Structures are given as structure tokens and as C-alpha cells.
Chains A and B, each alone.
Chain A
Amino acid sequence: MDMEALKQKIEGLDIPQSLKDELFEKLSKEKDLTEEMVDEIIDEVVNAYRKALVEPYEAVGIVAAQSIGEPGTQMSLPYEEKIIIKEGEFIKPVEIGKLVDEMIERFGFEKIGNSEVCDLPIDIYALSLDQDEKVHWKRIISCIRHKHNGKLIKIKTKSGREITATPYHSFVIRKDNKIIPVKGSELKIGDRIPVVKHIPANCVEAINISDYVSGNYVVDNINNKIAPKINGKSIPNNIKLDYDFGYFIGIYLAEGSVTKYFVSISNVDELILNKIRAFADKLGLNYGEYDNNNGFAESHDIRIYSSTLAEFLSNFGTSSNTKKIAEFVFGANKEFVRGLIRGYFDGDGNVNADRKVIRVTSNSKELIDGIAILLARFNIFSIKTKTKNQFVLIIPHRYAKKFHEEINFSVEKKKSELERLVSSLNDDKTYDSIDMIPSIGDALTKLGEKVDYPKVILKKFERKQKIGRATLQRHLRRIEELAVKKGVNILALKEYWLLKKAVESDVIWDEIVKIEEISCDKKYVYDISVEGLETFTTFDGVLTHNTMRTFHYAGVAEINVTLGLPRMIEIVDARKEPSTPIMTIYLKEEYKDNREKAEEIAKEIESLTLGSIAESISIDLWTQSIKVELDENRLADRGLTIDDVIEAIKKKLKVKIDVDGTTLYLKIKTPSIKALRKRIPKIKNIQLKGIPGIERVLVKKEGGEYVLYTQGSNLREVFKIDGVDTTRTITNNIIEIQEVLGIEAARNAIINEMRNTLEQQGLEVDIRHLMLVADIMTADGEVKPIGRHGVAGEKGSVLARAAFEETVKHLYAAAERGDVDKLKGVIENVIVGKPIYLGTGCVELTIDREYEEGKNMEE
């Protein structure tokens, strides 16, 4: 197909530019596509894109708290947490705070809720985990920062990795063979979070020394030389990152130190010393040699005299406490890194075949962290621990073979020990308690059963729900063999691919061993938003997840309810209609689990007026009529046609209707502006569909079933709808309940409503008080308010009524009728000044005092 036509076709589509470009790129590569095929592909792509679009009302993914702007529910990392990014060819760890602050300063920000968000116009990539459990570089879409509330959680894993984040920062875990996000505050000890094992790298082949030194230097680009301005020796400026250079830096990291004028390396191994001499010769530098035994051991120093080299090496730290890996190394080519690691392990590392470990110790945590990341380039996973004041990196023996293949030692003694270690290992029996794959579900069992694999083994792992990577690999291999033998096609089973994916994943599911809460005094916390699964990697290799962009509610999912004291007053006043009538509609068994059916019912219930579905309603002075514009699509969505609308209008109003396409002109007999305007509200309120009084319906999934919440109440009509569970559906309109369900239901409704209102306020009132109120209110067979029109106005005593409200009215009426007050109540007796009929006051016996006093004793 012709390129130009294709380009034009794609340009005309209603999809984002990036997708257009990608589509064009892919399609232009396919040579033998017919026009129909191209059209079909384009249609599919556009449809898929549309499907993925989010409606403004739709809830998507994990709903994050920012949308509501609630303080304390933010999810981010503190300033100091380093993340791994790739900019151009360079891979480097950078403090997230520094990155975000810098980007915001450069490109400005937009305020979204409490957050300051900066969409990046430049390409920076973060290391991200995908659903296929492979690690890829993904573009950072935006940088985010916001103020925080002081609390952070610090998580430590079994392999010694650490991460600090706000409790709401989400992490990813593995569940049911899928990667899902989870809130930091919901993580617990024993959960497993992913840690990268493998880092894909672009390769930097050479660097310029001049980029890494800042002093006074003269760069000679023609001869490729760099030298100090004042009498100094020159060294090559553009230097190739090869194995030898790497090895030299590795040795420096282990054994070196720098002063302003020279680099000093102390070691006793002749092989290492020779390599250093060779390197110095290669650069054309002078060196001096000294024996020194000022410490506890004898050693040999080589000093290479070059202030340029010395300053360059200070990028790697100057003393054992500050040693670190310079940033460019993370993006450097494999040979260089291989040299560096070997050099470093030749210097500081040791291997013990009996204890089956390869380890290296340093005073610098940063150096150990860096080495761990570099080892990840070779798929070697390492464990970090700490002794009293030193940091230790341990390579588990499971990776010894890999270490032997990829890196090895130069020093004879270490080399032979490593060989002894490797040969002593039995591939099948290595147990690695860190590299376990959690949550494999029943995938292994299902797969195994197909080929009659021993049930005992399968059941064991299904029960444990975790399995070592090597073990899984072994079992999988055996299942494959069995499958071939029995002729079972396991390649068609999805379980097989799930497990295969788990085995080959780029991450290690590291167990959490410690979670602690810490506080933080920095003003902001930070986050980045990454393409795809939105995961990114910290410097320590822990993968975390960001949810900034995956919420959309647009504030519509709220139903306004009166609460607290106003609601209490409403209840005891027995109002005809509460100020915010709402209904909770439950659905019958057949409907409650089905989203479509629930939506169907919701549509049937929600009342639809002409005013709420018309595109516009206006008074047209030219035609002296009311013009109603309709949208057919919206009508169809609610199952209406224009004819339905016309009929509904005719039923309510005496008008002549002219139809012009989707526009209706309503004409009245004697038109005038006043007459037309008078009819507008009526027209707006013409009911087209649904139940009158129910303004809005919200479908919510609750406890596994779909429940409808409505604004507005009409119990009688709702009960008539097919599918509504009339035994559970309720309204907060008590009078309506009395009318539809009877007085006993109303009594219960009063009790429930009052109890719920009080409970929401955190107040504890004994239910018997509420029952008493409800009983009094409903005792006459209809709900009566507490107050002068109800309970209080119907008291038997005239004085009691007069004492409450409308005194004169009650006294007049009583006088007119000649009412008698028996003075039995409290108020009446207070008014007339007698003891009340309570306690000692209610005794009606009198004492024969004379008898008591013994006067009549003789008789």
C-alpha cells in the first residue's frame, strides 16, 4: 500500500499522536497488506483505544486518595530515597527529591489537589516491572511532589534491602500469579515484594575525563590529552571503558586512596601489583613503590603521580568510608563492569568453599549498594547485611556458578577456592530461602495432574504457596519431559506459561523482615508516574508502584445525606419528607451479581425529565414558540424515541408540536413572551421515564453484590419494579414506610434511623431510650411528632399542655369546655405548689397521729 495514503489515513484518526506514529511505523513495515487488512487493523486499534478510554464518571483501577485531597493519604517517597533512572545512555541512581525538584524548577508545575505535578517534556526512563515479570526501561511521564504529614514507613527485606515510603505509597506483590499493587500500610512481615535481579543496560563505551574533573585543566582534543594547567603530566582525555580500566578502578575501590597529586594503591599480591604497573605504563604515568609496615600487616604501595587521575578517581570516593560507584559506571558496558567487579573482589572479596559463601566487606554502605546493582547486570543477586560497623555483601552459593562464569578472580588463591566451591555444588540441591516465588496458586497442581506427576509433591507446594525458583525450574523440566513421553501438549496450557514466566522473571520476591514507622522532617514527599504498570525501581533495587493517574470519580459518587442533630430533629418531628430522602435498594438473587442487570434496573428507576435529557430548551421569538432540541443518541441510551417525548409532552400540556428533525417547536394558542416563559418550568419537569421523585441513582458494589443508592425516595413505586428485593430495600422516609409497610415497620424505622444517626456521631445511647420514643410516637397507629402537634399537644392534663407551648390557647379551650385537671402529673403539681406524685409524694395513706402518739392506747 502506498505510504502517503497510509499516512493520511492514519493522520485523520481520532487517536493520540504517539499512537498514530506507532501505528504508522508498524504498518509501514508490513509490505504485503491489502487495503482491507489495513483498514481492519486500524479499526481494531481505534476500537481498542476507545475501549481503554475512561469516562469522567468511571472508577478505574485503584482509587487513590489525592482525588479527595485528604491529608495523610498520600503515597510517596521521601527526598533521600534514590531511584534508578536512565537519561540518554547514562544509567544513574538519583535522589528522587532532587530529580523531581529539578524537573519542577525547569518545566514548572500544575497544581492538582494538594500535589504539584510536572509532566515531563523530555525523555527520562525508569526501571519498571511489567506484567510479564520482566524489567524494562519505561518513560517517566510526570514528576509529582506534595507536602506530607510526617509519618513514613521503613521496610527491610531478607536480602538486606531497604526502602522508606509514606504508608500510602503502593508496592506491588504477587497474587494469584499476577502482579498487583498494594498499599504500603497493608504490607506485613512475611509478604514478598519484588527486587530486581537483572538490569538491562545500554552501553557507554567511552568517557571524557574532562567531564569528571573540575579543576584547572587544559584539554587537547586533537591529541586526545588532558593535563593540569600548571606543570602537570597529561593523560588521555577520551578513555575507552574496557576491562583493564575497570579492573584498575575495582582495585582502587578496594585498596586505593588519593591525595591531590597521586593515587596510592596498597596490596601484596604480585599479580595485582603488576596489573597496576601495566595500567600506569599504558597511561604513560610515573609511579613510585614503597614498602610499608606501619599497620598490622606488611604491605606494598604503588603511587601513581597524576593529579588529573587523582581527581578523576575521587569520583569514586577518597577514603574507605566514602568509597562509592561513580554514576557513569551504571551505564557502562559489560566488560568494564566485569573488570571493575573482579578488581574489587580481587582486592576486598573473599570466598570460602566450606561455608559456601562469596563475600565482600566495606566501610561504605554506598559502595556495597552500588556493587549490588552492578552484580544485577550479570543476573547475580546479592544479599546485604551489616556487622558492627561494616557493610557486607554476600553472594549466595546459588549464584556462585554464575559468578565463576561471569566474573571470577585473578588472584590464584581466591580463584582455586571459588573453583572448589563451584565443583562442590550440586545443582539440584541448592536451597535459596530468599529467591522464592510466592502465590503460585494451583497452577503447578493443575499442570502436574495433566502428566500424572506425583501428587505428594504437587500438593506440598500448593499448600505452602511458595516455591524456590530452582526447585520450580527442576520440577517444570521434569514435567516437560513427562509430557513429551506421554504425548500431552502442555504448551497449550496457560498454567505452563504462568509458571514459565515466574521462573524466568527478572525479579526476586524478597521477603519483608522488618517494618517500622519513622518520622521525617522534610517539607515534601515525591513520586513519579511511569508508563505501563507504573512501577519503578529504587537504588536498592526495590520495585514500587505509583497510582497517581489511575483514579477518576470527578466527585459525582456522592449522595448527600443529612446527619447529626438536624437528622435527629427530623426524625422526632415526623416530617412528611426528610430534607435528603435516600433509598438503599437491594436486588433479588438473580440480579444482584450482574452489573448489566443492576444498571438496567437503575435506569428504570432513575427519573428522567425533559429538562434533564434535552440538549437545550429555549423561547424562539421568531416562531413564537418553545424550541426543544433533543439528542437522539442520548434518548436511545435511555430507550426513548422522539415520538415518546412528543407523546409525553402532549399528555401534560395543550400544545401543538412541530417537528423538525430532532428539534421540537411547541406552539400555544395565544403566544406572548410571558405566556411562553410561564410554561418553561412545566416543560422541564415533564416526566419521560423512571420513578417520579428519584433524582439520581448510584450503583455501588458492596459485600459482593450490586446495591443501588438513590437520591429521592418513592418506596411504593420502587417495590413495583421487577428485580427489587422488597424484603431488604429501605428508605429513610419514615412516613413513607408507615404508608407502605405499616406502623410497626415505621416504629422499627424510627429506632434504626435514630440509632444509626447517633452511632455515626460516636454517641452511645441505650436502645431502650430510642424504643421508648419510637413507641410513644407510633402508639396511636400513625407516626406522630414529638411536639405541640403531636405527643406533647395530646397530653391529658390541661396545665401540662399549657405549661409546654401555646398556653393561652389551651387555657381558653379548657375553660370553654369546662375541663377538669386531676393534678396527677409533675408539671401540674409544680404549678399549684403541691408535692409531685413520685417517691414519698405518691403515698396516699395518712397516719392516725393520735394513735401513733399513744393517746388512744387505753381504749
Chain B
Amino acid sequence: MVKFCPKCNNLMLPKDGKLKCAVCGYEEETTAEGSKEYEYKEHLENKKEKITVIESEGLETLPTTRIECPKCGHNEAYWWLQQTRCADEPETRFYKCKKCGHTWREYD
């Protein structure tokens, strides 16, 4: 625990091997030298781990359907939906050809 000044209840900080009240100057001997209480840990984000290597090729997680690609004529395409217009309109269907990667839209 961090110590508080018994006189004025303010925070006591270490100084020259003693604890000193930052406000009234009350000093106290202490044995808690080097304790973790008087360390402010910095938050460290995005620690670097190993380099990520993705071996598997053509990893697609989208569902597919049978539809002809207008560009290459391939018969299978990935699809997803997106609400591109106002909420009372139907969603826009997006298709992406499995073979040539061509993307196109379909409206209702």
C-alpha cells in the first residue's frame, strides 16, 4: 500500500530513503524500499510477437453461389450483402467471381 501522511492525509512519496509527505513535509522512516507500490507502470500495447506467415493460399471465407460472371463466364462466385441505400430499400447483392475476381452488384 502507498502510505498517506498521518498528519494531513496526503500522499507520502519516497525521498532519500525516507517517506516524505508532499504537502506538510512530515517524514517517516521506512523499510519498504524498492517495493512495487512506488512504481507507475506504463501500459504497453501491441507487443511484437513473431512475424505472421500465412501459408494457405486462396483463403476465402465468403459463401459461394452459382451465378455466371459477366466478365469471364465462370459459374461460381462469392457473395455478400450490404445495405447501400436507405433502410426501406432492399440490400445490394455483391458478387465476386471465384475465378477472375471481378466484382459486380445486383439491385432489386
User: Within 8 Å of chain B (Cβ to Cβ): is A675?
Assistant: no
Complex alpha-carbon distance, A613 and B54, angstroms: 23
Judge if A643 is at the interface, Cβ distance under 8 Å. no
The DSSP consensus for interface residues of chain B is loop
Bound Cα distance A59, B61 (Å): 14
Stretch binding the partner chain, chosen from A258-266, A386-394, A579-587, A618-626: A618-626
Q: Nearest Cβ distance between residue B81 and chain A, in whole angstroms?
A: 11
B94: chain A residues within 8 A (beta carbon):
762
Q: A622-B38, A701-B57, A702-B57 are in contact. Are A614 and B51 (CB under 8 A)?
A: no
Cβ-defined partner of B49 (8 Å) among A57, A62, A616: A57
Q: When the two chains form their complex, are residues A621 and B57 in contact, meaning their CB atoms are under 8 A apart?
A: no
B85 within 8 A of A: no
- Cα of A149 to Cα of B33 in the assembled complex, Å: 64
Contacts A59-B55, A557-B54 hold; do A760 and B42 have CB atoms under 8 A apart? no
- Tell whether, in the assembled complex, residue A617 and residue B49 are in contact, meaning their CB atoms are under 8 Å apart: no
Given A702-B57, A703-B57, A762 contacting B51 (CB threshold 8 A):
no
Q: Complex Cα distance A627/B40, Å?
A: 10
A616-B42, A622-B14 known, 20 other contacts, Cβ within 8 Å: A70-B61, A70-B63, A557-B52, A595-B55, A612-B44, A617-B41, A617-B44, A618-B39, A620-B34, A620-B39, A621-B14, A622-B33, A622-B35, A622-B38, A701-B53, A701-B56, A702-B57, A762-B104, A762-B105, A763-B105
30 A-B pairs with C-beta separation under 8 A: A55-B50, A68-B61, A73-B63, A557-B52, A595-B53, A599-B51, A602-B51, A606-B48, A611-B44, A612-B44, A616-B41, A617-B42, A618-B41, A618-B42, A619-B42, A620-B38, A621-B39, A622-B33, A622-B38, A637-B50, A698-B51, A698-B54, A699-B51, A699-B54, A700-B53, A704-B57, A706-B53, A761-B103, A762-B104, A762-B105
Residue of B nearest to A554 (CB): B52
Residue numbers in A under 8 Å from B48 (CB-CB):
606, 608, 612-613, 638
Measured in the bound complex, the distance between the Cα atoms of B54 and A702 in whole Å is 9
B1 within 8 A of A: no
Q: Is B10 engaged at the interface, CB distance under 8 Å to the other chain?
A: no
Q: Which A694-716 residues have a C-beta within 8 angstroms of B?
A: 695, 697-704, 706
Q: A105 to B104, alpha carbons, bound, how many Å?
A: 46
Asked if B54 contacts A701 (CB within 8 A), the reply is yes
List B residues at the A interface (Cβ < 8 Å): 13-14, 33-35, 38-42, 44, 46-57, 59, 61-64, 94-95, 102-105
Partner of A556, one of B41, B52, B95: B52
A residues near B52, Cβ cutoff 8 Å:
57, 556-557, 698-699
Residues of B within 8 A of A695 (CB): 46
Of the residues B33, B41, B53, B61, contact of A699 by C-beta under 8 Å = B53
Q: B51: which of A63, A606, A680, A702 is its contact (CB, 8 Å)?
A: A606
- Chain B hits for A377, CB < 8 A: none
Is A384 positioned at the interface, with any CB of B under 8 Å from its CB?
Answer: no
Cβ–Cβ < 8 Å partners of A612 in chain B: 44, 46-48
Q: Are B61 and A621 in contact (CB under 8 A)?
A: no
Taking each of B33, B38, B40, B62, which has the highest tally of chain A beta carbons within 10 Å of its own beta carbon?
Answer: B40
In angstroms, how far is the closest chain B Cβ from the Cβ of A756?
Answer: 10
CB–CB B51/A622 < 8 A? no
Q: Check: A825 CB closer than 8 A to any chain B CB.
A: no
> Cβ of A680: which chain B residues have Cβ within 8 Å of it?
42
What chain A residues lie within 8 Å of B14 (beta carbons)?
Answer: 621-622
Q: Is A185 in contact with chain B by the CB < 8 A criterion?
A: yes
Q: In the complex, what residues of A have CB within 8 A of residue B33's CB? A: 622
Contacting pair B56 A63 (CB below 8 A) = yes
Asked if A62 meets B56 with Cβ closer than 8 Å, knowing A70-B62, A606-B48, A761-B103, the reply is yes
Contact indicator A627/B57 (Cβ below 8 Å): no
Residues of chain A contacted by B61 (CB below 8 angstroms) = 65, 68, 70, 73
**Interface code A680-701, partner B: CB below 8 Å = 1, 0 otherwise?**
1000100000000001011111
A138 within 8 A of B: no
A-B complex: 3 closest residue pairs judged by Cβ atoms: A72-B63, A621-B38, A762-B105
Q: Per-residue CB proximity of A141-159 to B under 8 Å, as 1/0? A: 0000000010000000000
Q: Is the CB of A599 within 8 A of B44?
A: no
Check B42 against A684 for contact (C-beta < 8 Å): yes
Question: What is the chain A residue whose CB lies nearest that of B96?
Answer: A762
Tell me the bound Cα distance from A763 to B42 in angstroms. Answer: 47
Q: B59: which A residues are within 8 A, CB to CB? A: 63
Q: Are A185 and B64 in contact (CB under 8 A)?
A: yes
Closest to A628 in B: B42
Does A603 count as interface, using CB distance less than 8 angstroms? yes
Tell me, yes or no, whether A269 is within 8 Å of chain B by CB.
Answer: no
Question: A759 contacts the other chain (Cβ, under 8 Å)?
Answer: yes
With a cutoff of 8 Å between Cβ atoms, the chain B residues found around residue A618 in the complex are 39-42
Q: Is the CB of A627 within 8 A of B39?
A: yes
Smallest beta-carbon distance B23→chain A, Å: 15
Residues of B within 8 A of A613 (CB): 47-48
> Chain A contacts of B95 at CB under 8 A?
762
Closest to A627 in B: B39
The distance in angstroms between the C-alpha atoms of A501 and B56, with both chains bound, is: 29
Per-residue 0/1 for A527-563: is the Cβ within 8 Å of any B Cβ (1 yes, 0 no)? Answer: 0000000000000000000000000000011000000
Contact partners of A627 in chain B: CB under 8 A: 39
What's the nearest-Cβ distance from chain A to residue B67, in Å? 13
Cβ contacts under 8 Å, B42 to chain A: 616-619, 680, 684
Q: How far is the CB of B60 from chain A (nearest CB, A)?
A: 9
The complex places the Cα of A713 from the Cα of B49 at a distance, in Å, of: 20
Compute how far the CA of A162 lies from the CA of B94 in the bound complex, rounded to whole angstroms: 34
**Nearest CB of A to B55, in Å:** 5
In the assembled complex, the CB of A552 is this many whole angstroms from the nearest CB of chain B, namely 11
User: Which of B35, B39, B53, B63 is packed against the most chain A CB atoms within 10 Å?
Assistant: B53
The complex places the Cα of A71 from the Cα of B62 at a distance, in Å, of 9
A704 to B41, CA, bound (A): 46
CB distance from B52 to the nearest CB of A (A): 5
Measured between C-beta atoms, what is the minimum distance from A617 to chain B in Å?
4
Looking at the assembled complex, report how far the CB atom of B92 sits from the nearest CB atom of chain A, in whole angstroms: 8
Q: When each residue 51-69 of chain A gets 1 if its CB lies under 8 Å from chain B and 0 otherwise, what string results?
A: 0000101110011010010
Contact with B along A617-648 (1 / 0, CB 8 A): 11111110001000000000110000000000
Q: Please state if B38 and A603 are interface contacts (CB–CB under 8 Å).
A: no
Q: How many angstroms from the CA of A257 to the CA of B38 in the assembled complex?
A: 88
Residues in B with CB closer than 8 Å to A677 are 40
Measured between beta carbons, the chain A residues less than 8 angstroms from B35 are 622
Report whether A599 and B105 are in contact in the complex, using a CB–CB cutoff of 8 Å: no
